[in-house]
């Protein structure tokens, strides 16, 4: 196991003394200039489109009207937060979000891993590449198409139910059933993004030392033992990193996907924090409350991610970044 970890960990640069460092600063600038300018547009992008818009969160503390602007709208303190917390619809949205996100964490998160293991075990490169291409494709379809396809097949007038009707079998309410909506959503996500999710795992699987498999086989380890003792530990750092990143946007559950299917099951089953923000803010013009909800969501996501990362470090894992 230790071998694997040090293999993944990037080699540490040789430490320099203080004096050497200052003396070489000009030289380093000359050497890294190109890299710096290459990184600049990316950094600017983040500043312009992520950090500066963060300032817009001030709306959460205002009775905001777009035409009055940030400066013209009056400050109302935490009134938006109080109003939001007193709103039943908000708590309904939180409840639905948690239900869907937990379900996805347990059902969706392992799915790409399983698929990656299957793909990795495939012999024959041409076939493997073909299968990979096929499973990546759905990721590039928009939700409009995915939902329309699901409706065409599983909807009330879809091909499955038309077939059942014509054969006098009772129909299945798959698309319009609020009770199973979170399951439906999760299966749609798996169908669409499972293949795409394998990319990281496949890359990690390739990095596992082949000698370990041989050694395990020589020691009499069967297929399952090799999976448990070699493969999974080998990709553990990647697994944990992806898990932590997933926690960061755990409260974002398929905005478009839900918006498209809201009418199918009603708001009671489908309202999540993101749609609450959308309907309240953009549609109903309650910018303040919506921004408050969005801000809360962001803070909870960031806190979860940092906490999970901390925990990973405590347990001796790499987490998202090296310390």
Partner 1 sequence: MNLNRRSFLGLAGLTAAVAVTGCSTSGGGTAGSKAGAAGGPLKMPTYVPFAGPTPDLPGNAQGLDPGFLKFPASPVKSVKAVPGDGSTITGLTYYDGPIVPQMSGNAFWQEVNKRLGVTFNLDTGNDEGYPTKFNTIVAGGEIKDFMWVAPNQGLTKIAQLAEAKFVDLTPFVSGDAVKEYPNLANFQEMTWQAAVMNGKIWGVPVPYSFFGQVYAGNKKSWDSVDGFTAKTPDELIEKFKQLTDAKAGRWALEPAYVNAVAQFNQIFRGVNTWKLEGGKLTHMFETQEYVSAIEMAIKAFQAGVFYPDPKITDIASKVAQGTVAAQVLSGAGWVGVPNQPGYGTAWEMTTFIPFGHDGGKGVHNLARGSVGFTGISNKNDEKKTKMLLKVLDYLAAPFGSEEWFFLNYGVAGTQHKMEKGAPVKTKEGETQLAFSNQLKFMTQSPEFLYYPGMDETTKAIHTAQQQLLEISQPSPILGHYSETNIDKGQSLTSKVYEYIEDAVTGRRPLTDFKSVVEEWKSGGGDKIRKEFEESIAKAG
Question: Phi and psi of 76, rounded to 5°?
Answer: -125, 15
For the CB of residue 280, give the shortest distance to partner 1 in the complex, in Å: 8
Q: What is the largest CA-CA distance in the chain?
A: 86
For the CB of residue 50, give the shortest distance to partner 1 in the complex, in Å: 19
Q: Which is nearer to partner 1, 66 or 222 (CB)?
A: 66
Q: Which residues bind partner 1 (CB under 8 A)?
A: 65-69, 148, 151, 155-158, 161-162, 165-166, 175-176, 178, 260, 263-269, 279-280, 282-286
- Exposed, middle or buried, 79 (CB in 10 Å: 0-12/13-18/19+)? middle
Contacts of 242 (CB under 8 A, 6+ apart): 200
Q: Which is nearer to partner 1, 148 or 320 (CB)?
A: 148
For the CB of residue 68, give the shortest distance to partner 1 in the complex, in Å: 8
Q: Which is nearer to partner 1, 5 or 63 (CB)?
A: 63
* Matching residue, tokens 């999760």: 186
On the CB side of 104, how many CA atoms lie within 13 Å of its CA?
26
DSSP letters of 108-144? Answer: TTHHHHHHHHHHHT---HHHHHHHHHHHHGGGGS-HH
For the CB of residue 92, give the shortest distance to partner 1 in the complex, in Å: 12
Q: Which is nearer to partner 1, 265 or 312 (CB)?
A: 265
Q: Which is nearer to partner 1, 89 or 300 (CB)?
A: 89
For the CB of residue 186, give the shortest distance to partner 1 in the complex, in Å: 20
Query: Per DSSP, what are the bridge partners of residue 62?
Result: 75
């Amino acid at each position: 196991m230790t071998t694997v970890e040090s293999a993944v960990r990037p080699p540490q640069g040789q430490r320099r003394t203080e004096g050497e460092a200052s003396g070489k600063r000009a030289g380093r600038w000359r050497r890294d200039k190109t890299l710096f300018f290459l990184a600049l547009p990316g950094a600017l992008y983040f500043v312009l489109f992520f950090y500066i818009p963060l300032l817009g969160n001030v709306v959460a503390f205002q009775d905001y009207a777009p035409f009055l602007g940030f400066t013209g709208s009056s400050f109302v303190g935490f009134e938006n937060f109080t109003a939001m917390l007193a709103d039943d619809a908000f708590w309904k949205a939180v409840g639905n979000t948690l239900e869907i996100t937990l379900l996805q964490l347990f059902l969706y998160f392992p799915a790409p891993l399983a698929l990656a293991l299957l793909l990795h075990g495939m012999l024959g490169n041409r076939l493997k590449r073909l299968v990979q291409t096929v499973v990546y494709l759905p990721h590039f379809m928009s939700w409009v198409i995915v939902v329309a396809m699901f409706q065409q097949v599983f909807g009330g007038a879809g091909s499955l139910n038309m077939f059942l009707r014509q054969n006098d079998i009772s129909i299945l309410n798959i698309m319009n059933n609020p009770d199973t909506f979170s399951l439906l959503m999760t299966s749609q996500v798996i169908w669409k993004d499972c293949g795409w999710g394998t990319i990281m795992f496949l890359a990690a699987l390739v990095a596992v030392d082949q000698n370990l498999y041989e050694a395990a086989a020589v020691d009499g380890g069967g297929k399952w033992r090799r999976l448990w003792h070699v493969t999974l530990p080998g990709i553990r750092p990647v697994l944990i990193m992806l898990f932590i990143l997933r926690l960061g946007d755990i409260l974002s559950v398929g905005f478009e996907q839900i918006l498209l299917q809201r009418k199918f099951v009603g708001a009671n089953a489908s309202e999540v924090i993101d749609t609450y923000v959308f309907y309240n803010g953009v549609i109903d013009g309650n910018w303040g409350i919506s921004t408050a909800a969005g801000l809360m969501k962001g803070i909870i996501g960031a806190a979860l991610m940092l906490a999970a990362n901390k925990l990973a470090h405590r347990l001796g894992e790499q987490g998202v970044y090296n310390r």
